Structure 1
Amino acid sequence: MTLTTATAVMFQAADPASGPGLLANILPFLLIIVVFYFLLIRPQQQARKKHQEMVSAVRRGDTVVTAGGMIGKVTKVVEGTDEVMVELAEGVQVKVIKATLSDVRSKTEPAEKQ
């Protein structure tokens, strides 16, 4: 076999029917995307939704934990904003953004409407 014949054989186009189809090439990427969705993205969305519900339900008297680890009691929910006043110690009140609350430890019962 001469050099030109060898290079001609190497560069011959393969038969399109002999190779894997388009679906076989894309299938592994689709599977990876589905696995990432169910193992990473969906649980994060659910956790974010649960946290937003918890934060929006905070009211006066609840014991909360801030993202910084401080535990306090909600003394006032500032209407129209995303802030609450938290009493950390007797006479020590701080204004906290609701989104930075990491946990509501004890919830107060809603007041009965009369």
Structure 2
Amino acid sequence: MEMLASLLPIILMFVLLYFILIRPQQKRQKQVREMQAELKKGDSVVTIGGFHGEIHAMDEDTIVIQAGDGSKLTYDRSAIREVKQQ
């Protein structure tokens, strides 16, 4: 019984850390995966490097983004940070 009482603060600390740090990070990662899965041609996007453009073409793993001057760059789907609202 004494051993359980001495382990209780450590167990509570791990539970608290899970709800403060780990769970919110997992939720954010899930939201990012869903956003990247829902991308479609014509969406205005921003990459993790800060490049702004519009999706010109895409396949399973890569996305071709067209800039305002007409140039096209190919990125991995995972490089998309956000979809801008039009």
Shift of 1:36: 0.7
Which residue of the partner structure matches residue 29 of structure 1? 10
TM-score normalised to the size of structure 2?
A: 0.93
Deviates more, 1:37-46 or 1:90-99: 90-99
Higher RCO (C-alpha under 8 Å, 6+ residues apart): 2
- The structure having more radius of gyration, on CA atoms, is 1
Measured after TM superposition, the shift of residue 48 of structure 1 is 0.3
Q: Percent identity between the aligned chains?
A: 33
How large is the Cα RMSD of the aligned pairs? 1.4
Aligned pairs for 1:48-87 within 5 A: 48-78=29-59, 81-87=60-66
TM-score of the pair, normalised by structure 1: 0.71
| 2:84 corresponds to which of 105, 108, 111 | 105
Structure 1 segments, 4+ long, off by >2 Å, are none
Match of 1:89 in 2: 68
Amino acid corresponding to residue 63 of structure 2 in structure 1: V
Name stretches of at least 5 consecutive residues in structure 2 with no aligned partner.
none
Cα shift readout 1:40-94 (whole Å, capped 9, x = no counterpart): 000000000000000000010000000011110000012xx31100012332100
Structure number with higher helix proportion: 2
